Amino acid sequence: MNSLPRPHLLAALGGPTRYWRLPEDRLVNSLKVLAQRAKSTGGTLIVIGSPRTPASAFEAVRASGVACHVILDREVRYPILLADADENFVTADSVSMISEAVMTGNPVGLIPVELDSEGRQKLGIEGVSISRRDIRKFWANLDRLGLAGTVDRPLCNPIEDPVRMAADAVKRLLSQRVP
């Protein structure tokens, strides 16, 4: 990745999940915005998929002519790309990928997804439902904490590493023990 001009904007694509889908037109529009942003800064838009990313998403990206460096078949692992990226953009369907992007401490923007027909029926179109599976609760929390923004306005807000927090708590407890 070192040979690609910086800044590196990483777009990590998920795919359909229960209740949610990744509309290819919205994906392409988001990537066009990011490609223009990369071009204006002299950088590179890097796109990677996940095991859930449908081949049709990559086909739509290729057909659109979006200027980007697409990584297929896990040439470079996602954690390495995250560590390398200056800004991270993640499809909003994946709590895991979003969380990993937030933990980098770099700006994060969410690429929109939309409810599928089952999701509209089970979760409703407006607001947030009471369902445990309603990812909109997670998005609202990210927004409230300023941890992720949009494609147009990525955000970052420092967050403490939970592994480090747990290790520090254990160290404190161990140091309080009487021999």
CATH number for the domain including 61? Answer: 3.40.50
Cβ proximity of 57 and 27 under 8 Å: yes
Residue 38 lies in a domain: yes
Task: Please report, rounded to a whole number, the percentage of residues in the chain having pLDDT higher than 90.
Answer: 76
**Which pLDDT score, from 0 to 100, does residue 166 have?**
87
Cα–chain center distance at 169: 29
pLDDT score for 161: 82
Could you give the number of structural domains in the chain? 1
User: Mean pLDDT, the chain, as a whole number?
Assistant: 93
- What pLDDT band is residue 178 in, cutting at 50, 70 and 90? low
> Could you list the residue range(s) of the whole structural domain that residue 127 is in?
8-176
Asked, for residue 3, whether it belongs to a domain, the answer is no
Cα 117 to Cα 121, 130, 154, distances in angstroms? 6, 18, 29
In a domain, 60, yes or no: yes
2 found inside a domain: no
- Does residue 1 form part of some domain? no
Q: Indicate whether 25 belongs to any domain.
A: yes
46 strand-pairing partners: 10, 69
Whole-structure pTM value: 0.89
Residue 118 domain flag: yes
Q: Tell me the pLDDT band of 121, cut-offs 50, 70 and 90.
A: very high
Would residue 64 count as lying in a domain? yes
What are residue 48's DSSP bridge partners?
Answer: 12, 71
